[in-house]
């Protein structure tokens, strides 16, 4: 009976450790995605007059888009 219990305990420890590493990997991936994905203000800045992907926004629309982006980040 001792061999079976030792094998079961070893298997359980192995699965717990593998689960821990999977959790750490998924959390790390989520943090990397969060860091590199643009937020609403960064998107607004790209699309406004100062950005690289300029859109033909009127002044009023630029202010509205800025306010919308600011509310999402807040």
- Mean pLDDT by groups of 10 residues along the chain of 74 residues: 87 90 95 90 84 82 88 82
pTM score, whole prediction: 0.55
At residue 72, the pLDDT reads: 85
At residue 1, the pLDDT reads: 66
| Residue 65 and residue 57 in contact, taking contact as beta carbons nearer than 8 Å | yes
At residue 33, the pLDDT reads: 92
At residue 58, the pLDDT reads: 86
Alpha helices in the chain (DSSP H): 2-36, 40-47, 59-73
């Amino acid at each position: 009976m001792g061999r079976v219990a030792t094998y079961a305990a070893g298997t359980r420890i192995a699965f717990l450790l593998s689960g821990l590493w999977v959790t750490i990997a998924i959390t790390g991936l989520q943090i990397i995605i969060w860091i590199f994905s643009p937020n609403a203000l960064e998107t607004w800045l790209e699309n406004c007059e100062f950005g690289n992907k300029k859109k033909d926004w009127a002044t009023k629309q630029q202010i509205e888009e800025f306010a919308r982006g600011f509310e999402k980040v807040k």
